[in-house]
Amino acid sequence: MNIASFDSVAAILVIPIGSAALLAVLPGYRLTARLNVVASLATFLSALSLFVIERPPPGPYVLVDDLNIVFIVLNTFVGFTTSIFSASYIAHELETGRLTPVYLRFYHAMYQTMMFGMNLAFVSNNIGLMWVAVEIATLTTVLMVGIYRTHAALEAAWKYFILGSVGIAFALFGTILVYMAARPVMGEGQDGMVWTLLIQHAANFDPALLNVAFIFLLLGYGTKVGLAPLHAWLPDAHAEGPTPISAVLSGLLLNVALYALLRFKILLAANPAAIAPGPLMVTMGLISLLFAAFMLYRRRDIKRLFAYSSIEHMGIIVFAFGMGGPLANFAGLLHMVMHSLTKSAIFYAVGHISQIKGTQRISRIRGLTATHPALGWGLVTGVVAIAGLPPLGIFMSEFLVVSSTFARQPLLAIVLVFGLLLAFGALTLRLTSVAFGEPRGSTKSAEASYVPMFAHLSLVLIAGLYLPAPLVTWFQHVARLLG
């Protein structure tokens, strides 16, 4: 194995977990907040280095390929920008007494532990280890959702824990069934858990076991993706936890479960006698899109509003990957990246807005573009992007999803477009009341860094106007791998 490649892979795991141990004992907010940013930056740079060095060959535990490097780089980048946003956001929570110094140490330690869990899930070549990594990431976010220790926060954390545990139990049972399907062909031992070996022999596995396994995996990891009707934990977790965690949940953690689901979709597709995973994913994706689009009209809390928007967009992404084919898979990858960047930027804006106004109630927030122009117009740009309007990147990805569906399944495309228009109407309705009109609520100035928010929105705008040829070629290659 190339030493540089080994060091880079090790760094994206060792830096977060080592920083978590250090952050758990260091006193002082400023020091720990800065260390959290530095550790996140170092992890991101280590992930970027995988582009320029020779990748390590697959081992029994570690895999770096064209598929997971998309997720790794996106994960570490959003983790880095969220750590910058978190520094100013959590400082305000400390000043107002919502968090104590002890809880701040816990928060920063859990943040890096969460990043470790997500990165481990992405680089795992062992499907059992991947399951463990997803569980680590889930448990750390459960603890962070309940960090305010209010009745509502603890209730949200418990709901997340219980429903997440049910989901991860289904995923574990599905993983065991995959191993049972592989054992007659590959023998006992860890070879039956190594994904690169499984994919080589998948055509010879018992299709009946694979079919049942994928049902459990779809339900299990689908719970973590936030697909309806398995979504009940997500709105509460977004609304009651610290806003940086809302950004991470929408922008990153949902992608971790999606990645695991895609790995098993590829495995199932390699067995010609197994059921096609596409129709199941298309069905759950459409249900999630339509359900979330209707629910957007009923939201009165601004963080819950964008939590349901995340359910909507994960539905679109799962729908695209379920449709399959080079164009739909390309659109799904692009939409996943654009959604992560846009939704995290929206939560950066919402976090500062809720601190300034002292509320998350939409009815108590008015005229942001007049009282806080940077925040107001940042939120307007984010909502315009997430609603799928040109020239921003989500318009391009949604256009590709719709056009590829029209070419193959026109009736499904009609349902898809109906859901998109329904969600667009709800977001537009809420945006006009929050951003414009007679100002309402506090007009105090915000001491915050808007760099992460505008950095994300700039990338989304650039992607809507121009995608570099190497990026397009890379995504096309990954789309072909997904089948």
| pLDDT attached to residue 133 | 94
Q: pLDDT 10s digit of each residue in the chain, 483 long?
A: 455 555 778 899 999 999 999 998 887 778 888 999 999 999 999 999 888 877 788 888 998 888 889 899 999 999 999 999 998 888 877 777 777 777 888 888 999 999 999 999 999 999 999 999 999 999 999 988 988 888 988 999 999 999 988 998 999 999 999 999 999 988 888 888 999 999 999 999 999 999 999 999 999 999 999 898 888 898 899 888 888 888 988 888 889 999 999 999 999 988 888 888 989 999 999 999 999 999 999 888 899 999 999 999 999 999 999 998 899 999 999 999 999 999 999 999 999 888 888 888 888 888 888 888 888 899 999 999 999 998 999 999 999 999 999 999 999 999 999 999 999 999 998 888 888 877 776 667 666 678 999 999 999 999 999 988 888 988 898 888 887
AA letter at 408: R
Distance of CA 447 to the CA centre of its chain: 27
| pLDDT attached to residue 93 | 79
SS3 336: helix
Nearest to 449 by CA among 84, 83, 107, 33: 84
Two tokens at 13? 């795991």
- The set of long-range contacts for 405-408, using a CB threshold of 8 Å and a minimum separation of 24, is 405/323, 405/328, 408/323, 408/325
| pLDDT attached to residue 10 | 87
Instruction: For residue 126, report the phi and psi dihedrals to the nearest 5 degrees.
Output: -105, 120
| pLDDT attached to residue 1 | 45
Spell out where 223-283 has E strands: none
| pLDDT attached to residue 174 | 94
Whether the Cβ atoms of residue 271 and residue 205 lie closer than 8 Å to each other: yes
Provide the b/e sequence for 449-469 (b: ≥16 CB within 10 Å): ebebbbbbbebbeebbeeeee
- CA dist 241 and 153 (Å) reads 6
Instruction: For residue 194, report the phi and psi dihedrals to the nearest 5 degrees.
Output: -85, 120
Nearest to 106 by CA among 147, 134, 154: 147
| pLDDT attached to residue 249 | 86
- CA dist 129 and 175 (Å) reads 10
Residue found under tokens 């869990």: 117
| pLDDT attached to residue 481 | 85
Tally of CB atoms within 10 A around 91: 17
| pLDDT attached to residue 46 | 92
| pLDDT attached to residue 66 | 86
- CA dist 373 and 358 (Å) reads 18
Whether the Cβ atoms of residue 474 and residue 66 lie closer than 8 Å to each other: yes
| pLDDT attached to residue 16 | 94
